[in-house]
Amino acid sequence: MVPRGVLVLCADDWTCLSMTCQSSESPDTIESDPPADPEQRPVALAMKELKNAGWYWGTLTANEAKDVLRDASEGTFLVRDSSQRDFLFTISAVTSAGPTNLRIRYDGAKFKLDSVVPVRPKLQQFDSVVRLVEHYVQLSRTAAAAASPPNGTVPLLLTRPAYAAVPPLQHLSRVAINRSARRVGDLPLPNRLKDYLADYFYNV
């Protein structure tokens, strides 16, 4: 796994997220039962959206994620359950130096990337894990062509999801439509199709 010094995009510049990368994780996994606490409802929604996304791998371990991504190109990523009790989810991704893991912090009903304390206030928060990933995918697509990270650092780009299974053609079409038309309600489509598009309105 990649050591300290991995960079991830924050706003429009590179921000160092030291030691969010782990070579191994504890065997404890998160609970899968729906939360009873209303403050935990964003987690239930996040689970629903992640399952719709197709690149959520559930209880995959860090080593298993490394195997999945072993021959993948830089920027390929997946989301899985975190094996650490203090975190719900982890992004496993391929960098130019190999696979790495980046934890997702859940606090105050918001999701954000984990980081060292001084950097945390600079990182955006999201109501949804998929929206968080979508944000960094969009930044990565721009930065991959326009920016270079500081010397001696490894950029973390999220550009290509690793699907847990072959996604249905309907879902891939939905993602493609979302990339070009964010207001699906205005499209000349039957209401049933609009409802399907609205059920997953992300472009990744």
Segment among 96-105, 117-126, 174-183 with least mean pLDDT: 117-126
Query: Is residue 41 helix, strand or coil?
Result: helix
What's the pLDDT band for 70 if we cut at 50, 70, 90? very high
Distances (CA, A) of 201 to 65, 128, 138, 187, 196: 26, 12, 15, 13, 9
**Sequence ranges of the domains in the chain:** 6-166, 168-204
Q: Which CATH architecture has domain 6-166?
A: 2-Layer Sandwich (3.30)
pLDDT value of residue 36: 53
Which residue, among 204, 195, 199, 138, has the nearest Cα to 175 in the 3D structure? Answer: 204
Domain 168-204: CATH class, spelled out: mainly alpha
Is residue 112 within 8 Å of 85, Cβ to Cβ? no
Q: Is the pLDDT of residue 1 over 50?
A: no
SS3 29: coil
Mean confidence (pLDDT) of the chain: 79
Stretch among 82-91, 119-128, 168-177 having the lowest mean pLDDT: 119-128
Is 130 in contact with 204 (CB distance < 8 Å)? yes
Between 39 and 135, the higher pLDDT residue: 135
Q: What is each CA distance from 12 to 65, 82, 152, 169, in whole angstroms?
A: 29, 27, 20, 34
